[in-house]
Amino acid sequence: MPAISWPLSSRPGLSDAESAGRLINAFAEKLGDGARAPVSIRRSPGLSRFVDLGVTGPRGMRQVGAVVLAAYRNTLVRISEDGTVSAVGPLPGSERITIARNNRQPTPDAVAVTELGAYRLTVDGAPQPLSYPNGLPAPNSVCELFGFLFFTAGNGDCYATGLNSLKFNTLDKTTEQARPGGLLRGISFRDELFLFGPSGIGVYGGQAQQNGFPLARITGIPRGLIGPWAVAGHEEGWSNELIWVGDDSVVYQLNGYSPARISNHDVERDLAAAAQVDRKAIEASVHLVAGHAFWVVSMPGRTWVYDLTTQQWHERASHEATRWRASQSVKFAGRWLVGDTVGTGLLEVTESAFTEDGDPLRFRVESLPAQGFPSRLAIPRADFDFALGVGRLSADPTIRDPRTLISWSDDGGKRWGNALSRALGRQGESRTRINLLRTGMTGAQGRIWRVDVSDPVYCALLGGAMAIEARTE
């Protein structure tokens, strides 16, 4: 029987008729030589609760010394490796922030820049407003490099503290003037300072200088940043690849000093639509699971994920939502932790979790259309190759007797029939067959298959096949 074609990358298309398959909470991984399928499509990593913080509204987090300092709406909390949570003190504001720390020993200085100003952070005391000279503009971000803290400002200025200190000299300043629009964000990456503006990026580096601005300008990149939070990849513990959403709604990966396009048109259309509403609502983050380096960009109504390992895109959507609930990330105690936009938990991204903090994590795959245009096709039988026998001993029937729902569309994805339920097999039941019989005639647009799995068990789709008979009527 001809194989059902499953996508490696999600491509919903501008219209249903142009879809080339979708992966929602699912991603493709190439299998080894000799496996029964070349590719496995697996459920995306779930979210398990690392600790309950008791606060909502994640704004930013960073490891400082042996703890993580996490900012939430109007407050700052401290998290230890053993999961102990302590309130540090009030940190006014509700918008995203940046946190940086220098290399001072034995305890580094930490600073946060919020929409209400800059604050000095400590692990055991309330945040305090940071004092800086009147001649310096109010900052909109902070980052660190070589023990200096670098602050960016909307007028294009970037100024630095002294080495491993919080003292300022008004001469330790530069102005990025290659492109208009000022600065949105500073990022330290591969021992260089990247100053992102809305229409260009200035790159600074070289041997740190004792007088004046510590770094020399190396080059400029003629591609800006769509919004202050739309860049990630510089985080400690990830794959050392800087990726950002450009001012043209295209996702770029840094290649030397050149921006290399990695997004597809579907991603770009969503980003362009989001930018028309609120550029600050476009936020990027990263996490690494089982060798897959995932770069995530979320916006109102949609989350796209780029798998740096396979160079493919898939979508994420949380329960009863159209975007992923995670926001921001930090690697801590060997875990990738993310903030939760719908709850009070600090969550771990892990492939051993098949839910999102207890909520269903629906795996959905839509096939490429099978068609014989302009002829219609009869489909007397279709078989679906899953990893079987994945049920586990449990009183919960969704864990003990997991099932998949299979539906199809014969008009290019505009309408879907009622889903049919099939068992994935209890523990050890590896001979279970998943097939459908007498599924009728396709339209001229062909047949698109959709498979869903919401039950909290391991889920992997390895392939599928269908019998077809051409019809001329």
User: Does residue 84 lie within any of the structural domains?
Assistant: no
Rounded (10°) CA dihedral 247, 141, 193, 311:
-50
Asked if residue 302 has pLDDT above 90, the reply is yes
Q: What is the mean pLDDT of the chain?
A: 95
Any domain includes 169: no
CA 350 to CA 327: how far, in whole Å? 15
Q: How far apart are CA 151 and CA 159, in angstroms?
A: 5
Confidence of residue 443 (pLDDT cuts 50, 70, 90): confident
Quickly list DSSP for 42-75. EEPPEEEEEEE-S-----EEEEETTEEEEEETTE
Domain count, the chain: 1
Higher pLDDT, 17 or 333: 333
| φ and ψ of 92, to 5 deg | -60, 145
SS3 for 389? coil
- Locate the DSSP E strands across 147-267: 148-153, 157-161, 168-175, 185-189, 192-196, 201-205, 216-221, 231-232, 243-245, 251-255, 258-261
pLDDT tens string 228-256: 999 999 999 999 999 999 999 999 999 99
CATH number for position 453: 2.60.120.260
Query: Does residue 381 lie within any of the structural domains?
Result: yes
Does residue 157 lie within any of the structural domains? no
- The pTM score is 0.96
**What pLDDT is attached to residue 177?**
85
Q: What is the pLDDT of residues 377-417, one digit of tens each?
A: 889 999 999 999 999 999 999 999 999 999 999 988 889 99
User: What is the rounded distance in angstroms from the CA atom of residue 297 to the CA atom of residue 274?
Assistant: 11
Cis peptide before 300 (omega within 30 of 0): no
Does the residue 21 lie in any domain? yes
Euclidean distance between CA atoms 294 and 27, whole angstroms: 10
pLDDT of residue 432: 80
Per-residue model confidence (pLDDT) at position 412: 85
For residue 180, pLDDT beyond 90: no
102 closest CA partner among 160, 171, 185: 160
In this prediction, residue 373 carries a pLDDT of: 65
Q: Is residue 283 included in any domain, yes or no?
A: no
- The predicted-structure confidence for 243-295, as pLDDT tens digits, reads as follows 999 999 999 999 999 999 999 999 999 999 999 999 999 999 999 999 999 99
Q: Is residue 428 part of a domain?
A: yes
By residue range, what is the domain housing residue 375?
16-44+363-471
**Residue 187: inside a domain, yes or no?**
no
3-class DSSP assignment, residue 421: strand
Separation between Cα atoms, residue 95 and residue 406, nearest integer Å: 42
